[in-house]
Amino acid sequence: MTQSDDRLKDKQFATRAVRAGQARTHEGEHSEAMFLTSSYVFDSAEHAAARFAGDEEGNIYSRFTNPTVRNFEQRLATLEGGEVAVGTSSGMSAILSTFMGLLAAGDHVVSSRSIFGTTRVLFDKYLAKFGIETDFVALTDLAAWEAAIQPNTKALFLETPSNPLNEIADIKKLSAIAKAHDCILIVDNCFCTPALQRPLALGADIVIHSATKYIDGQGRGVGGAVVGDADLVGEQVYGFLRTAGPTMSPFNAWLFLKGLETLDIRMKAHSAAALELAIWLEQQPQVEKVFYAGLPSHPQHALAKQQQSDFGGIIAFEVKGGQAGAWKVIDATTWLSITANLGDTKTTITHPETTTHGRLTQEERDLAGIRDGLLRISVGLEDVADIKAELQCGFVLL
Ligand SMILES: *Cc1c(COP(=O)(O)O)cnc(C)c1O
């Protein structure tokens, strides 16, 4: 558990992304040191006893604290505007730790229907086993959220923009609904990152990250984080984390620290390239529909503009010819990465119906609007003209 770093509090986002949280050692290293150590030594038996008793602050064991992980946590906490951040071993363990820390048997959760597939499995298959029930509602239907809240509802959970269709939730309005019913609002901020959207400032209580995506940004490591206040995150979520152990490794914390240093500039570049590509896609005769909140044709373009500083790097679009058409476009590419991962410098392309959303029933996919001709692109940092040419290879076959 790590408090945010106050030294750079009044500095701009990009400055904090590069500088916050570093505590140099006596060696005077310029870059952040990586503390690959599982445990820590004490000066004396009395010193050890004081640490274990909590009379003195300091490291004991890296399941509890590690200086490199702390560095990452402080940097992320200041970027999200949270009191506390905790690093986790993956995005999924960030979500699991949040629910294990905050909920008990008999509690109820209302979740957006448009969430990461594995998060859905966590709710349906595992949390349900421990007596935590979840109801799913349409992300943008505020009345449905309110109607789904029961006396035992403890948390509302959502991702915005959603995957893959880029639907936008009104975080401020949902936060008002959550507060009126004494619920915690939890936002998975994976698609925007704090560079584009800061849910805590809009009234959310907790922000979740898969650091695997844009925070690393270069496809190198799996990790996650939970950000919020000193009680919810610093005590309750951290308490579970240090006990159960899905903590972030110092090696990965170091990767993510380096990722954060370029986050601001990368998110601007991803967003600019995605907007250019989305506008171009809308003009292609083989493309039936484009889902990107940066386009005026998007039903929540105005809300996205108000809530986010830019629109991010993920585009979904439907091509002619259903699944066969979509697969043709994927298979005609020569260097795009055919993978379900996203948030990378390398552009990735996937067919949600048969990959990320393949475990849903047909009815659930219909409800979620995942059609068979839908493709999702995570726009990387290659030249946009080259990305267009890659897609054109497939479009000419349709
Ligand atoms: C990938 C992802 C996760 C899970 O993160 P992992 O690091 O893969 O465990 C959670 N939420 C969203 C929105 C994601 O894209």
What is the CATH classification number for the domain harbouring 322? 3.90.1150.10
Q: Is the CB of 212 under 6 A from ligand 1?
A: yes
Going from the Cα of 257 to the center of ligand 1, the distance in angstroms, rounded, reads 18
161/214 same-domain check: yes
Give me the pLDDT at residue 110, please: 98
CA-angle at 212, arms to 370 and 330, nearest 5° = 40
Give me the pLDDT at residue 6, please: 64
Q: Is the CB of 252 under 6 A from ligand 1?
A: no
Alpha-carbon separation of residue 209 from 82, 86, 347 (angstroms): 13, 10, 20
Going from the Cα of 311 to the center of ligand 1, the distance in angstroms, rounded, reads 19
Going from the Cα of 397 to the center of ligand 1, the distance in angstroms, rounded, reads 33
Encoded amino acid at 260, one letter: L
Q: Is the CB of 210 under 6 A from ligand 1?
A: yes
97/40 same-domain check: yes
Q: For the chain, what is the domain count?
A: 2
Q: Whose CA is nearest to atom 1 of ligand 1?
A: 210
Q: Is the CB of 92 under 6 A from ligand 1?
A: yes
Q: What are phi and psi of 270, to 5 degrees?
A: -60, -45
* 166: alpha, beta or left? (left if phi > 0; alpha if psi -120 to 50): left
Give me the pLDDT at residue 5, please: 55
Give me the pLDDT at residue 1, please: 41
322/175 same-domain check: no
236/297 same-domain check: no
185/43 same-domain check: yes
96/242 same-domain check: yes
Give me the pLDDT at residue 95, please: 98
Which domain does 84 fall in, by range? Answer: 8-261
- DSSP states of 224-262 as a string? EEEEE-TTIIIIIIHHHHHHH--BPPHHHHHHHHHHHHT
The answer to the question of residue 126 being in a domain is yes
66/169 same-domain check: yes
Atom of ligand 1 nearest to the CA of 93: 9
223/268 same-domain check: no
Atom of ligand 1 nearest to the CA of 119: 10
Q: Is the CB of 271 under 6 A from ligand 1?
A: no
Please tell me whether residue 338 adopts helix, strand or coil conformation. strand
Q: Is the CB of 398 under 6 A from ligand 1?
A: no
Atom of ligand 1 nearest to the CA of 159: 13
List per-residue pLDDT tens for the chain, 398 residues long.
Answer: 444 456 787 899 999 999 998 888 999 999 999 999 999 999 999 999 999 999 999 999 999 999 999 999 999 999 999 999 999 999 999 999 999 999 999 999 999 999 998 999 999 999 999 999 999 999 999 999 999 999 999 999 999 999 999 999 999 999 999 999 999 999 999 999 999 999 999 999 999 999 999 999 999 999 999 999 999 999 999 999 999 999 999 999 999 999 999 999 999 999 999 999 999 999 999 999 999 999 999 999 999 999 999 999 999 999 999 999 999 999 999 999 999 999 999 999 999 999 988 888 899 888 888 999 999 999 999 999 999 999 999 999 99
Going from the Cα of 210 to the center of ligand 1, the distance in angstroms, rounded, reads 5
Q: What is the pTM of this model?
A: 0.96
Q: Whose CA is nearest to atom 8 of ligand 1?
A: 91
58/80 same-domain check: yes
Half-sphere exposure of 235 (CA within 13 A, CB side): 4
Q: Is the CB of 226 under 6 A from ligand 1?
A: no
12/122 same-domain check: yes
